[in-house]
Amino acid sequence: MIADTTFPRPTVMAATLAFAVLLIMAVPLISSRAQVGPTPAGQVTAPTANKPPAPASDGRPAESVEADVSTRAVAVTSSFTGTEIIVFGTVEHSRQPTPESGYYDVAVIVDGTPTPIIARRKSNVAGIWINAESLRFEKVPSYYAIASTRPIEEVAEPQILDQNRIGFDSIHMKVAEQQSQMAPANLAEFRRAVIRLKQKEQLYQKSDYGVAFIGRSLFRSTISLPANVPVGPLITHTYLFRDGKLLSKHTNNVVLRREGLERYLHSFAFDYPLLYGIFAVLTAVAAGLIASTLFKRGSH
Amino acid sequence: MDFYLPIAEMSANIFIFLGMGAAVGFLSGMFGVGGGFLMTPLLIFSGIPAAVAVGTEAAQIVASSVSGAIAQYRRRNVDFKMGFVLLIGGIAGSMIGVQVVRILRQIGQFELFVSLSYVTFLGIIGTLMMIEALNTMRKTRGGKQVSARRPGQHSWIHGLPFKMRFHRSKLYISAIPPLLIGAFVGFLSAIMGVGGGFVMVPAMIYLLRVPTNVVVGTSLFQIVFVTAATTIMHAKQNQTVDIVLAMLLMIGGVIGAQFGAVAGEKLKGEQLRALLAGLVLLVCIRIAYGLVVTPNELFSLGSVFGGH
């Protein structure tokens, strides 16, 4: 009788034990994925952007980052000479004792629309410098600014930076398919040239100490948009790191819009090119006639 | 004061471009030339994309030529029949030129092509003008009378078919040479951002033997219409006409031209031509230097066209 009741006990216990073991093994797996583990697609590590992650194992609520931008819509008008936007945010459940403690690292990235471009290299042909070799990129960010609490390569491992496209070395540049067989060294040289030229135009910017904590949890960063910033949507990404681990991420959008006379002329030129051309000629004729009546003398 | 140029897509100090317009206007008023061959390289040197410089300059030439053309018309110095023949050729040449600009931009060779064209034409014209001006100066110093027009000689041009009578020019010649000259000048206008007077005037005098009093008026007539057509085609095909930039250059240009015309009256014809030749050669050398000197940066970035 007793045997009847005790006999299945080991099987039940074994099953319970196996379930518990599975559970213990699975929990760290899930939580580690939630913290730093990259998803197979190599995308953002935080489970879903802009949502606080699950509580950490030590019981204290995990830190997360929230951010916003001072200007959500920037107007590119005829008097546009560039502007600055401020990206600011807080670390939820901050554990750092003082703003200066360097407990967290924050990186702010402002990313422009990816556009196709061609990079060309001049070669000396018969004494004249001529564009010879060229490489077409399907997609290169038209604008890329990064600001961080300290040099970004000190903040985290290259692998983590690459996965999140943080830093100049990790900017995503998609080479046109028909040219992907170019030698890697050559490709790397073209890549560096694109970054160098974009930097010269102030379209790629890096500020190693551009993010500052002004409270235990509050931080801010100033990003400058030069006059030649390509018009289009911008995305700001704010990343929170601690000890080289990516804890959380937040995304915001900024819209760059042509406005006023500038917008009118640009859409006139591109949407009604023929009318625009005729308008340009009529303007020129009028200007010439006004000038000749004003000065009562032809220049010829 | 800064202003955002809508097509060049850059912020520019308006006084720089007003000043540039005035400086070139002064020279063009002084020498009686359009000034496109000076303005386009200046715009390119100052960072305006070459294609935008060429397209915009076409619009500015319309403005600077139109008043001159009207003044010539009032003095009855325009041979309309000759002008129309040149114009038909000119528009055809300009259409080809605008397409050539589009193709060269796509393959990234437009800057090179513009530079080579400038070096070639400025080099040839500058040298010829310099030789001619120096010879005239030497002869006048020797006290000899110089006649501008040489006696009419019969050349291969007179053997061509499709002869037409040009009353105003007192000519009976084939329509083919003026058509070709017009086409060539229209082509240059589209690819170099010039009016083309520096080719048209000598070609009319030396090849067609048009009387000098009709040459300037007729070439101005043709330049106004061809550059107008070129402006419209550049705007339509390449979207490279920056009207804000063109306005700045026009305003500076017309003011500068007034002072230039006054300054020009104080100099003799051959002195003016020698000065102009020197200027042309300087621009030529500057562009040639840019082609030969090892650039600091071998790489450049370009947009991908055709995917609007």
Please judge whether B301 and A270 are an interchain contact, meaning their C-beta atoms are less than 8 angstroms apart: no
SS3 A236: strand
CATH class of A44-258: mainly beta
CA-angle at A286, arms to A282 and A287, nearest 5°: 115
The radius of gyration of chain B's CA atoms, rounded to the nearest angstrom, is 20
So what's the pLDDT on residue B85? Answer: 92
Sketch the domain layout of chain A as residue ranges.
Answer: 1-35, 44-258, 261-290
Average pLDDT along chain A:
80
Q: Are A108 and A88 in contact (CB under 8 A)?
A: no
Reported as a single tens digit per residue, the pLDDT across B193-247 is: 888 888 888 888 888 888 878 888 888 888 899 999 999 999 998 889 999 999 9
> Looking at residues B25-47, what average pLDDT do you find?
84
- Band of pLDDT at residue A47, cut at 50, 70 and 90: very low
So what's the pLDDT on residue A7? Answer: 46
Please judge whether A300 and B216 are an interchain contact, meaning their C-beta atoms are less than 8 angstroms apart: yes
Reported as a single tens digit per residue, the pLDDT across B152-190 is: 555 666 677 777 788 777 778 888 888 999 999 999 989
> Looking at residues A213-217, what average pLDDT do you find?
91
Q: Is the pLDDT of residue A4 over 50?
A: no
User: Which of A231, A281, A290 is the best mutation test for B, with the most CBs of B within 10 A?
Assistant: A281
Interchain contact B170–A (C-beta under 8 A)? no
**CA proximity to B76, closest of B204, B266, B214, B280:** B214
Q: Kind and range of the H or E element at A245? A: strand A245-258
Nearest CA in chain B to A228: B10
Is the ipTM higher than 0.85? The answer is no
Q: Are A190 and B299 in contact (CB under 8 A)?
A: yes
Q: How far apart are CA A242 and CA A211, in angstroms?
A: 15
Nearest CA in chain A to B244: A265
Better-scored residue on pLDDT, B79 or B33: B79
SS3 B219: helix
Highest mean pLDDT (candidates A86-90, B80-84, B195-199):
A86-90
Alpha-carbon distance values, B217 to A57, A300, B83, B213, B214 (Å): 90, 9, 9, 8, 6
Our CA-based measurement puts residue A141 at a distance from the nearest CA of chain B, in whole angstroms, of 13
The whole-model pTM stands at 0.74
Reported as a single tens digit per residue, the pLDDT across A148-168 is: 999 998 989 999 999 889 999
Of B66, B235, B291, the CB nearest to A128: B291
> Looking at residues A228-232, what average pLDDT do you find?
86
Please judge whether A300 and B246 are an interchain contact, meaning their C-beta atoms are less than 8 angstroms apart: no
Please judge whether B66 and A285 are an interchain contact, meaning their C-beta atoms are less than 8 angstroms apart: yes
Interchain contact B304–A (C-beta under 8 A)? yes
Q: A274: which chain B residues are within 8 Å (Cβ-Cβ)?
A: 232, 235-236
Could you say which DSSP state residue B206 is in? Answer: I
Q: How far apart are CA A268 and CA B241, in angstroms?
A: 11
> Looking at residues A102-112, what average pLDDT do you find?
92
Q: Which residues pair with A177 in a beta bridge?
A: none
Q: Is the pLDDT of residue A29 over 50?
A: no
